[in-house]
Structure 1
Amino acid sequence: MNGKPDPRTTAEVVTRTRLERGRGALGPALELVHTGRAPTRAVLTAELGVTRATAGAVAAELEALGLIRVDPRPVAPAGSHGRPSHRLLVEEEGPVALAAQVHADGYRAALVGLGGRIVATTPGCEIVGADPAEVLDSVVAAGAGLLRETGRRCVGAGLAVPSAVAEPDGKALNPLYVAWPAGAPVRDIFARRVREAGLTGPAFTGNDVNLMALAEHRHGAGRGARHLLCVATGHRGVGGALVLDGRLHTGSSGLAMEVGHLTVNPEGRSCYCGSRGCLDVETDPYAFLLAAGRTPGPEESLLKQASDLIVRESADPAVRAATELLVDRLGFGLAGLVNILNPDRIILGALHRVLLGAAPERLRAVVADRSLWGRSGSVPILAAALDHNSLVGAAELAWQPVLDDPLVALGG
């Protein structure tokens, strides 16, 4: 023995030390890659505020967990003369979350990977029975079938429902348009069905528009917004959601942002809440079809019927008048929300997205004219960017424990 340290042992110690330093950064690093905010190792290093060596160790650990892929060929940013950096990509063959959505016109299951990628979906079912246990049994069985077909590892499951979901008990308080009993314990039912199907990972349940907002904020038109307001029609009724500093605002018991009950037409139709002329009954697909003088047909969803009318028959005077009427009422509601919430971006989904596309300047003018903050600096109003955004948002619930601590969630 000459008393000199073995260089191999020293290198191993240095590597372990770097990794131990970086273990606390695994979750934040994964979230940065997941949301597209760290496309390269150089950006990851800067965002985490760590050394290049530590960022490299973190990326290598996430790759070993099967969550990301480090491109072995360094590339320089476009137009840059800086040092090339390795690209960081989500692992396309990695684990998935089971996502499910139930709405008035049916239900669907999907597998969603990191990055909000929909890996596989079931055909949409158009029948929703009055027993939530039977519906959730069917949707979980469909999702389990996708997992068997693809052979993917499941990190957990998330469910989007068209109702406020009370916290902490997970009951759907007002599932009006799916004929479920008020207060149905959907979270417990869904979690039990997931366990009975032999799926691994925790199960979560949330309101569909809240989950739309979460998905759009992380992967869609809401990226980069600090205070994001989302409003959408769903298939019946109107829902809203608010993301504050990157987190969903759900209130003290999960019931915040019931924006459908803002009055926009005092002489309007009666609403189940006891008021008249609420957004819920004045700007949804059913309201549009009535305003256009059309009788809703049973063969297609109300959302599809209304959307197709706006897109394909925009020259029809009755359709044009109905479009302008709903745009004005939607604008009144959005202006009130802007006055209260002062968001830095608004995203519209489902039929409201179609209305925005049909009359963007009219809608923005109504909001600007009737909102205090809109007059001094207009709030951007954008269309939702993601298809099946509530499904993607449901998957985000299941991915969250992995984003919080990949090693614990995956047993690493």
Structure 2
Amino acid sequence: MNGKATTTRTRLDRGRSALGPALELVHTGRAPTRAVLTAELGVTRATAGAVAAELEALGLIRVDSNPGAAAGSQGRPSHRLAVDEKGPVVLAAQVHADGFRAALVGLGGTIVATAPGCVTVSADPAQVLGAVVDAGAALLRESGRRCVGAGLAAPSAVAEPEGTALNPLHLAWPAGAPVREIFAERVRAAGIEGPAFTGNDVNLAALAEHRHGAGRGARDLLCVATGHRGVGGALVLDGRLHTGSAGLALEVGHLTVNPEGRPCHCGSRGCLDVETDPLAFLTVAGRDPGPEVSLLQQARDLLRTSRDDPGVRVAVGELIDRLGLGLAGLVNILNPDRIILGGLHRELLDADPERLRAVVADRSLWGRSGGVPILPCTLDHNSLVGAAELAWQPVLDDPLAALGREPV
């Protein structure tokens, strides 16, 4: 080995532990140039260069070979860094009350391809998860891309460490279904490479938004969302999901916001889950839900096309007040520095942002003292992107080990 190669290997050996952190910085868009990467990692320019070169050799990022200085800038131009658009992907899957979807997701949270599934979810979780994995496997065959893992977003609290779906309330699945085990078995049977993971859909939406969307830069991020049925919540603390001792934290859908309200599946009454979801919106607006499209789409369409309708205005006001009451209680308990809203809640925020923020401020100690920013989620299919984040995590932790490679 010549002297130059020895020097390069020595730099890489010093920076090998920085491969994962460096990849995560590029993955989340926080290191757009090698100069920023150097500063963020706290290493020498030479070491940062060796790390970037190794990640490029692994097919994970691209390093601009002809850097150019921005107009009006001074000093040496820096090499730009970006994820490799032709690099490996992971399989992401999501199941909800109205169907399922499979996708291929690259680094940077980029959805490469999607395959929507059926609109009726079977009572047999093995059949459903087998179908969504088959859809993902077909996408992989068509793409010809390498797959390094798989992730599933489930509409239920997922108990740790067993990986069981404890309360798939809006599916006909049995409580305690071993969804992680079933999903992993189907992934292996389909010949898909890499480990398989499963998590709660709103937890994963929050993780995706924190890394790639409306939650970027937040330290204590609260996410509340209503999808096709029900309401879920998640909390990200210092960049990591807070899931509690057994994966069951932040079941915000079962906060009571109307003691005399609708019966809830949990046995209580007036929970967020049944007071602020799409079915509640359609019911208060005086509309009978139809079978043609999902409840979420029906509620969104009604809000978009009939906002001036008296019944729709009443529904908007009632759901905002109930949602604001629930958020205020969460602010008092959790003291987040940002709240993001997904699903129909995002549309309710857009319909009357001042009313929602006023309810939260009036009903919460910390809301009155300074105000907590309330923002809409910004990612399409954020639960899918979050499922992909689970699968990408081993690569972010140790790229060489996850890809089965030795340093070049």
TM-score, structure 1 length as denominator? Answer: 0.97
Give the CA deviation at 1:79. Answer: 4.8
Partner of 1:184: 177
Following the alignment from structure 2 to structure 1, what is the Cα–Cα distance between the partners of residues 165 and 395?
Answer: 26
Structure 1's unaligned 5+ residue stretches are 1-7
1:65 aligned partner: 58
Is structure 2 residue 94 aligned with structure 1 residue 107?
A: no
Distance 1:77 1:19 in 2: 29
8 Å CA contact 2:169, 2:265 repeated in 1 = no
* Aligned counterparts, 1:315-330, within 5 A: 315-330=308-323
**Aligned equivalent of 1:142:** 135
How far does residue 125 in structure 1 lie from its aligned partner after superposition?
2.3
Q: What does residue 116 of structure 2 align with?
A: 123
Residue in 1 that maps onto 2:153: 160
Tell me by how many angstroms 1:11 deviates: 1.5
1:42, distance to aligned residue in structure 2 (A): 0.1
SS of 1:109 mapped into structure 2: strand
Deviation at 1:276, TM superposition (A): 1.2
SS of the aligned residue for 2:62 comes to strand
User: What does the per-residue CA deviation read over 1:334-357, in whole Å, with 9 as the maximum and x for residues that have no partner?
Assistant: 000000000000000000001001
1:133 aligns with 2:126: yes
Partner of 2:391: 398
Q: Relative to structure 2, which stretch is displaced further, 242-251 or 307-316?
A: 307-316
3-state SS in 1 of match to 2:270: coil
- What is the alpha-carbon distance in structure 2 between the residues aligned to residue 46 and residue 66 of structure 1? 23
**TM-score scaled to structure 2, two decimals?**
0.98
**Cα distance between partner residues in 2 of 1:108 and 1:78:** 44
Please, which runs of 5 or more residues in structure 2 have no aligned partner?
A: none
Q: Secondary structure at the match of 1:391?
A: helix
Residue 203 of structure 2 corresponds to 210
1:210, 1:78 → 2: CA distance? Answer: 41
Instruction: Name the CA distance, whole Å, in 2 between partners of 1:385 and 1:206.
Output: 20
Residue 46 of structure 1 pairs with residue 39 of structure 2? yes
User: Is residue 196 from structure 1 mapped to residue 171 from structure 2 by the alignment?
Assistant: no
Question: Within 5 A, what are the aligned runs for 1:291-306?
Answer: 291-306=284-299
Q: Secondary structure at the match of 2:262?
A: coil
Distance in 2 (CA, whole Å) between partners of 1:239 and 1:363 is 18
The verdict on how the C-alpha distance between 1:314 and 1:157 changes in structure 2, with shifts beyond 3 A counting, is same
Aligned to 2:355: 362
1:3 aligned residue: none
Taking every aligned residue pair, what percent have the same amino acid on both sides? 81
Q: Which residue of the partner structure matches residue 94 of structure 1? A: 87
- For residues 367-395 of structure 1, the C-alpha deviation after alignment (integer angstroms, 9 at most, x for no partner) is 11111111111111010000000000000
User: What is the alpha-carbon distance in structure 2 between the residues aligned to residue 174 and residue 13 of structure 1?
Assistant: 57
* Structure 2 counterpart of 1:372, one-letter code: L
Q: Secondary structure at the match of 1:24?
A: helix
Q: Deviations over 1:230-256 (max 9, x none)?
A: 000111110000000000000000000
Please say which of residues 270-279 and 226-235 is displaced more in the overlay: 270-279
Return the alpha-carbon distance in structure 2 between the equivalents of residues 103 and 263 of structure 1.
Answer: 24
State how far apart, in whole Å, the 2-side matches of 1:272 and 1:151 are: 44
State the one-letter code of the partner of 1:60.
A
CA distance in 2, matches of 1:125, 1:90: 32
Rounded to whole Å, the distance in 2 between the matches of 1:294 and 1:53 is 64
Task: Summarize deviations over 1:127-156 as a string: whole Å, max 9, x none.
Answer: 210000000110000000000000000010
Query: Of the candidates 222, 226, 237, which is equivalent to residue 229 of structure 1?
Result: 222
Letter in 2 for 1:240: G
Superposed CA RMSD: 0.9
Aligned residues: 405
Counterpart-to-counterpart distance in 2, 1:173 and 1:314: 37
- Please list, as runs of the form range in 1=range in 2, the aligned pairs for 1:371-410 lying within 5 A after superposition: 371-410=364-403
Q: 1:400 to 1:78 in 2, by over 3 A?
A: farther
Q: Tell me by how many angstroms 1:80 deviates.
A: 2.8
Q: 110-119 or 259-268: which moved more?
A: 259-268
Q: CA deviation at 1:313?
A: 0.2
The correspondence for 2:282, drawn from 289, 313, 325, is 289
